[in-house]
Amino acid sequence: MAAALALARDAAAAGEVPVGAVVTAADGRVLAGAHNQTRSLPDPTAHAEILALREAAKVLGNERLIGCTLWVTLEPCPMCAAAISEARLARLVYGATDPKGGGVEHGPRIFAHSRHAPELVSGVGETESAALLKAFFTDRR
Amino acid sequence: MAAALALARDAAAAGEVPVGAVVTAADGRVLAGAHNQTRSLPDPTAHAEILALREAAKVLGNERLIGCTLWVTLEPCPMCAAAISEARLARLVYGATDPKGGGVEHGPRIFAHSRHAPELVSGVGETESAALLKAFFTDRR
Protein backbone atom coordinates (compact mmCIF):
# COMPACT_ATOMS: atom_id res chain seq x y z
CA MET A 1 0.00 0.00 0.00
CA ALA A 2 3.00 2.30 0.52
CA ALA A 3 3.67 2.09 -3.24
CA ALA A 4 0.03 2.89 -4.03
CA LEU A 5 0.15 5.90 -1.69
CA ALA A 6 3.34 7.12 -3.40
CA LEU A 7 1.53 6.90 -6.75
CA ALA A 8 -1.41 8.86 -5.28
CA ARG A 9 1.04 11.62 -4.28
CA ASP A 10 2.40 11.61 -7.86
CA ALA A 11 -1.18 12.03 -9.14
CA ALA A 12 -1.76 15.09 -6.96
CA ALA A 13 1.52 16.61 -8.16
CA ALA A 14 0.29 16.10 -11.75
CA GLY A 15 -3.08 17.75 -11.03
CA GLU A 16 -5.00 14.46 -11.10
CA VAL A 17 -7.27 13.15 -8.32
CA PRO A 18 -4.82 11.49 -5.89
CA VAL A 19 -5.60 7.79 -6.12
CA GLY A 20 -2.91 5.17 -6.66
CA ALA A 21 -3.14 1.43 -7.38
CA VAL A 22 -0.74 -1.50 -7.52
CA VAL A 23 -1.30 -5.09 -8.70
CA THR A 24 0.72 -7.88 -7.08
CA ALA A 25 0.95 -11.52 -8.15
CA ALA A 26 0.18 -14.44 -5.82
CA ASP A 27 3.89 -14.57 -4.85
CA GLY A 28 3.89 -10.87 -3.85
CA ARG A 29 5.77 -9.65 -6.93
CA VAL A 30 4.63 -6.18 -8.14
CA LEU A 31 3.18 -6.51 -11.67
CA ALA A 32 1.89 -2.98 -12.26
CA GLY A 33 1.20 0.39 -10.70
CA ALA A 34 -0.62 3.51 -11.82
CA HIS A 35 -2.37 6.66 -10.70
CA ASN A 36 -5.42 8.46 -12.09
CA GLN A 37 -4.81 10.04 -15.50
CA THR A 38 -8.32 10.91 -16.70
CA ARG A 39 -7.33 14.50 -17.50
CA SER A 40 -3.85 14.08 -18.91
CA LEU A 41 -4.66 11.27 -21.36
CA PRO A 42 -7.66 12.32 -21.68
CA ASP A 43 -9.60 9.11 -20.96
CA PRO A 44 -12.75 8.81 -18.80
CA THR A 45 -11.77 5.21 -17.93
CA ALA A 46 -8.20 6.07 -16.84
CA HIS A 47 -8.71 5.54 -13.12
CA ALA A 48 -5.67 4.17 -11.27
CA GLU A 49 -7.25 0.72 -10.93
CA ILE A 50 -8.13 0.33 -14.64
CA LEU A 51 -4.65 1.41 -15.74
CA ALA A 52 -2.99 -0.97 -13.27
CA LEU A 53 -5.23 -3.90 -14.30
CA ARG A 54 -4.49 -3.27 -17.98
CA GLU A 55 -0.74 -3.13 -17.36
CA ALA A 56 -0.78 -6.30 -15.22
CA ALA A 57 -2.73 -8.21 -17.91
CA LYS A 58 -0.10 -7.16 -20.44
CA VAL A 59 2.73 -8.33 -18.15
CA LEU A 60 1.05 -11.70 -17.56
CA GLY A 61 -0.10 -12.07 -21.20
CA ASN A 62 -3.56 -12.99 -19.91
CA GLU A 63 -6.74 -10.95 -19.43
CA ARG A 64 -7.49 -12.93 -16.25
CA LEU A 65 -5.37 -11.96 -13.26
CA ILE A 66 -5.81 -15.22 -11.38
CA GLY A 67 -4.42 -15.15 -7.83
CA CYS A 68 -3.55 -11.44 -8.01
CA THR A 69 -4.26 -8.67 -5.50
CA LEU A 70 -5.16 -5.05 -6.28
CA TRP A 71 -4.03 -2.48 -3.70
CA VAL A 72 -5.74 0.89 -4.09
CA THR A 73 -5.80 3.95 -1.87
CA LEU A 74 -9.56 4.63 -2.24
CA GLU A 75 -12.68 2.45 -2.39
CA PRO A 76 -13.11 1.66 -6.11
CA CYS A 77 -15.96 3.28 -8.04
CA PRO A 78 -18.57 1.01 -9.70
CA MET A 79 -16.60 0.92 -13.00
CA CYS A 80 -13.40 -0.17 -11.29
CA ALA A 81 -15.11 -2.64 -8.96
CA ALA A 82 -16.77 -4.30 -11.95
CA ALA A 83 -13.42 -4.34 -13.81
CA ILE A 84 -11.86 -6.11 -10.80
CA SER A 85 -14.59 -8.73 -11.12
CA GLU A 86 -14.05 -9.03 -14.91
CA ALA A 87 -10.31 -9.54 -14.30
CA ARG A 88 -10.97 -12.30 -11.74
CA LEU A 89 -8.75 -10.83 -9.04
CA ALA A 90 -8.36 -12.90 -5.88
CA ARG A 91 -8.15 -10.00 -3.47
CA LEU A 92 -8.89 -6.28 -3.20
CA VAL A 93 -7.21 -4.19 -0.51
CA TYR A 94 -8.23 -0.54 -0.23
CA GLY A 95 -7.66 2.46 2.00
CA ALA A 96 -10.29 5.14 2.52
CA THR A 97 -13.97 4.51 1.87
CA ASP A 98 -15.87 6.70 -0.61
CA PRO A 99 -19.49 7.26 0.43
CA LYS A 100 -20.18 9.49 -2.61
CA GLY A 101 -18.45 7.62 -5.43
CA GLY A 102 -17.66 4.15 -4.11
CA GLY A 103 -19.13 1.02 -5.64
CA VAL A 104 -18.03 -1.63 -3.13
CA GLU A 105 -19.60 -0.63 0.21
CA HIS A 106 -21.72 2.09 -1.38
CA GLY A 107 -23.94 2.78 -4.40
CA PRO A 108 -24.56 -0.33 -6.50
CA ARG A 109 -22.38 -2.56 -4.24
CA ILE A 110 -20.97 -4.33 -7.28
CA PHE A 111 -19.70 -7.50 -5.61
CA ALA A 112 -23.12 -8.31 -4.16
CA HIS A 113 -24.26 -8.86 -7.77
CA SER A 114 -21.18 -10.40 -9.40
CA ARG A 115 -20.21 -13.98 -9.97
CA HIS A 116 -16.55 -13.20 -9.30
CA ALA A 117 -16.08 -11.27 -6.07
CA PRO A 118 -12.59 -10.86 -4.59
CA GLU A 119 -11.69 -11.28 -0.94
CA LEU A 120 -11.98 -7.78 0.59
CA VAL A 121 -9.75 -5.91 3.02
CA SER A 122 -10.44 -2.22 3.71
CA GLY A 123 -8.96 0.54 5.85
CA VAL A 124 -5.30 -0.13 4.95
CA GLY A 125 -3.50 3.22 4.72
CA GLU A 126 -6.87 4.91 5.20
CA THR A 127 -5.65 7.95 7.16
CA GLU A 128 -2.96 8.98 4.67
CA SER A 129 -5.20 8.31 1.68
CA ALA A 130 -8.04 10.41 3.08
CA ALA A 131 -5.62 13.23 3.98
CA LEU A 132 -4.25 13.32 0.40
CA LEU A 133 -7.76 13.53 -1.08
CA LYS A 134 -8.89 16.18 1.41
CA ALA A 135 -5.82 18.36 0.72
CA PHE A 136 -6.31 18.00 -3.04
CA PHE A 137 -9.97 19.02 -3.04
CA THR A 138 -9.41 21.81 -0.48
CA ASP A 139 -6.76 23.32 -2.80
CA ARG A 140 -9.21 23.18 -5.73
CA ARG A 141 -12.01 25.05 -4.01
CA MET B 1 -26.36 0.65 -35.10
CA ALA B 2 -25.55 -0.93 -38.48
CA ALA B 3 -21.90 0.10 -37.95
CA ALA B 4 -21.88 -1.39 -34.45
CA LEU B 5 -23.31 -4.67 -35.80
CA ALA B 6 -20.62 -4.75 -38.51
CA LEU B 7 -17.99 -4.37 -35.75
CA ALA B 8 -19.64 -7.21 -33.80
CA ARG B 9 -19.28 -9.44 -36.88
CA ASP B 10 -15.59 -8.46 -37.09
CA ALA B 11 -15.19 -9.48 -33.44
CA ALA B 12 -16.64 -12.94 -34.09
CA ALA B 13 -14.33 -13.39 -37.07
CA ALA B 14 -11.40 -12.54 -34.76
CA GLY B 15 -12.52 -15.05 -32.10
CA GLU B 16 -13.75 -12.37 -29.72
CA VAL B 17 -17.24 -12.17 -28.18
CA PRO B 18 -19.31 -10.42 -30.90
CA VAL B 19 -20.16 -7.05 -29.42
CA GLY B 20 -19.61 -3.79 -31.31
CA ALA B 21 -19.89 -0.17 -30.21
CA VAL B 22 -19.87 3.24 -31.89
CA VAL B 23 -19.77 6.74 -30.38
CA THR B 24 -21.45 9.59 -32.24
CA ALA B 25 -21.26 13.31 -31.50
CA ALA B 26 -24.34 15.48 -30.93
CA ASP B 27 -24.35 16.33 -34.67
CA GLY B 28 -24.40 12.62 -35.64
CA ARG B 29 -20.74 12.47 -36.70
CA VAL B 30 -19.06 9.10 -35.89
CA LEU B 31 -16.20 9.70 -33.43
CA ALA B 32 -15.11 6.15 -32.67
CA GLY B 33 -15.94 2.48 -33.10
CA ALA B 34 -14.60 -0.75 -31.62
CA HIS B 35 -15.33 -4.38 -30.88
CA ASN B 36 -14.36 -6.57 -27.94
CA GLN B 37 -10.63 -7.32 -27.75
CA THR B 38 -10.19 -8.78 -24.28
CA ARG B 39 -8.32 -11.83 -25.60
CA SER B 40 -6.23 -10.34 -28.36
CA LEU B 41 -4.80 -7.42 -26.36
CA PRO B 42 -5.03 -9.07 -23.65
CA ASP B 43 -6.96 -6.62 -21.47
CA PRO B 44 -9.86 -7.46 -19.12
CA THR B 45 -11.28 -3.96 -19.64
CA ALA B 46 -11.19 -4.11 -23.46
CA HIS B 47 -14.94 -4.39 -24.01
CA ALA B 48 -16.24 -2.69 -27.16
CA GLU B 49 -17.79 0.16 -25.16
CA ILE B 50 -14.61 0.99 -23.17
CA LEU B 51 -12.45 1.00 -26.30
CA ALA B 52 -14.93 3.21 -28.16
CA LEU B 53 -15.23 5.66 -25.22
CA ARG B 54 -11.44 5.91 -24.92
CA GLU B 55 -11.03 6.56 -28.64
CA ALA B 56 -13.82 9.18 -28.67
CA ALA B 57 -12.24 11.02 -25.70
CA LYS B 58 -8.95 11.10 -27.60
CA VAL B 59 -10.66 12.49 -30.72
CA LEU B 60 -12.45 15.19 -28.72
CA GLY B 61 -9.44 15.93 -26.49
CA ASN B 62 -11.72 15.74 -23.46
CA GLU B 63 -12.51 12.95 -21.00
CA ARG B 64 -16.14 14.09 -20.90
CA LEU B 65 -18.18 13.13 -23.95
CA ILE B 66 -20.83 15.82 -23.51
CA GLY B 67 -23.79 15.40 -25.88
CA CYS B 68 -22.51 12.12 -27.32
CA THR B 69 -24.39 8.86 -27.92
CA LEU B 70 -23.01 5.34 -27.49
CA TRP B 71 -24.51 2.70 -29.76
CA VAL B 72 -23.77 -0.87 -28.65
CA THR B 73 -25.15 -4.20 -29.83
CA LEU B 74 -25.58 -5.67 -26.30
CA GLU B 75 -26.75 -4.31 -22.95
CA PRO B 76 -23.56 -3.00 -21.29
CA CYS B 77 -22.07 -4.90 -18.33
CA PRO B 78 -21.73 -3.06 -14.98
CA MET B 79 -18.16 -1.92 -15.81
CA CYS B 80 -19.21 -0.40 -19.14
CA ALA B 81 -22.43 1.11 -17.79
CA ALA B 82 -20.44 2.83 -15.04
CA ALA B 83 -17.86 4.02 -17.62
CA ILE B 84 -20.72 5.54 -19.65
CA SER B 85 -21.75 7.43 -16.53
CA GLU B 86 -18.12 8.55 -15.85
CA ALA B 87 -17.89 9.81 -19.45
CA ARG B 88 -21.12 11.83 -19.07
CA LEU B 89 -22.72 10.48 -22.26
CA ALA B 90 -26.08 11.98 -23.18
CA ARG B 91 -27.60 8.82 -24.64
CA LEU B 92 -27.12 5.05 -24.68
CA VAL B 93 -28.72 2.97 -27.43
CA TYR B 94 -28.37 -0.80 -27.22
CA GLY B 95 -29.59 -3.93 -28.97
CA ALA B 96 -30.09 -7.21 -27.13
CA THR B 97 -30.58 -7.38 -23.37
CA ASP B 98 -28.19 -9.48 -21.26
CA PRO B 99 -29.94 -11.07 -18.28
CA LYS B 100 -26.72 -12.82 -17.14
CA GLY B 101 -24.10 -10.12 -17.56
CA GLY B 102 -25.97 -6.85 -18.08
CA GLY B 103 -25.67 -3.95 -15.68
CA VAL B 104 -28.38 -1.61 -16.98
CA GLU B 105 -31.67 -3.54 -16.70
CA HIS B 106 -30.06 -6.35 -14.72
CA GLY B 107 -27.63 -7.02 -11.85
CA PRO B 108 -26.55 -3.81 -10.09
CA ARG B 109 -28.68 -1.55 -12.42
CA ILE B 110 -25.89 1.01 -12.49
CA PHE B 111 -27.89 4.04 -13.61
CA ALA B 112 -30.31 3.72 -10.70
CA HIS B 113 -27.35 4.62 -8.45
CA SER B 114 -25.44 7.12 -10.56
CA ARG B 115 -25.52 10.89 -10.65
CA HIS B 116 -25.02 10.89 -14.41
CA ALA B 117 -27.46 8.58 -16.18
CA PRO B 118 -27.87 8.79 -19.96
CA GLU B 119 -31.15 8.73 -21.82
CA LEU B 120 -31.81 5.04 -22.64
CA VAL B 121 -33.09 3.37 -25.80
CA SER B 122 -33.03 -0.43 -26.03
CA GLY B 123 -33.99 -3.10 -28.55
CA VAL B 124 -32.38 -1.41 -31.59
CA GLY B 125 -30.92 -4.16 -33.82
CA GLU B 126 -31.78 -6.66 -31.10
CA THR B 127 -32.57 -9.62 -33.38
CA GLU B 128 -29.32 -9.51 -35.34
CA SER B 129 -27.24 -8.85 -32.21
CA ALA B 130 -28.76 -11.80 -30.35
CA ALA B 131 -28.32 -14.07 -33.41
CA LEU B 132 -24.61 -13.18 -33.64
CA LEU B 133 -24.05 -13.95 -29.95
CA LYS B 134 -26.02 -17.20 -30.12
CA ALA B 135 -24.09 -18.43 -33.17
CA PHE B 136 -20.76 -17.52 -31.51
CA PHE B 137 -21.44 -19.38 -28.28
CA THR B 138 -23.01 -22.37 -30.08
CA ASP B 139 -19.82 -22.75 -32.14
CA ARG B 140 -17.70 -22.68 -28.97
CA ARG B 141 -19.57 -25.47 -27.18
B34-87 residue pLDDT tens: 999 999 999 999 999 999 999 999 999 999 999 999 999 999 999 999 999 999
Tell me how far apart the alpha carbons of residues B113 and A9 are, in angstroms, rounded to a whole number.
30
Contacts of B113 in chain A (CB under 8 A): 78, 107-108
Backbone phi, psi, residue B139, to 5°: -60, -30
Predicted confidence pLDDT, tens digits, chain A (141 residues)? 999 999 999 999 999 999 999 999 999 999 999 999 999 999 999 999 999 999 999 999 999 999 999 999 999 999 999 999 999 999 999 999 999 999 999 999 999 999 899 999 999 999 999 999 999 999 887
**Active-site entry in B49, B55, B75, B86:** B49
Tell me how far apart the alpha carbons of residues A95 and A19 are, in angstroms, rounded to a whole number.
10
Q: How far is A61 from chain B (nearest CA, A)?
A: 6
Contacts of A39 in chain B (CB under 8 A): 63
Tell me how far apart the alpha carbons of residues A73 and B78 are, in angstroms, rounded to a whole number.
22
Closest C-alpha among B33, B39, B11 to residue B21: B33
CB contact under 8 A, A86 and B108: no
Residue B55 is among the residues annotated as catalytic for this protein:
no
Tell me how far apart the alpha carbons of residues B51 and B94 are, in angstroms, rounded to a whole number.
16
Helices (H), chain A: 2-13, 48-60, 78-86, 126-140
Kind plus residue range of the DSSP H or E element containing B86: helix B78-86
How big is chain B, counted in residues?
141
Instruction: Examine the pLDDT at B91 and tell me if it is beyond 80.
Output: yes
User: pTM of the entire structure?
Assistant: 0.97
Residues B46-59 as b or e (16 or more Cβ within 10 Å = b): bbbbbbbbbbbbee
Burial of B138 (0-12, 13-18, 19+ CB in 10 A): exposed
A30-35, strands of its sheet edge to edge = A30-35, A20-24, A69-74, A91-96, A119-122
Instruction: Examine the pLDDT at B141 and tell me if it is beyond 80.
Output: no
- C-beta of residue A83 within 8 angstroms of C-beta of residue A113: no
What ipTM score was computed for the predicted complex, to two decimals? 0.95
Size of interface A-B (CB pairs under 8 A): 109
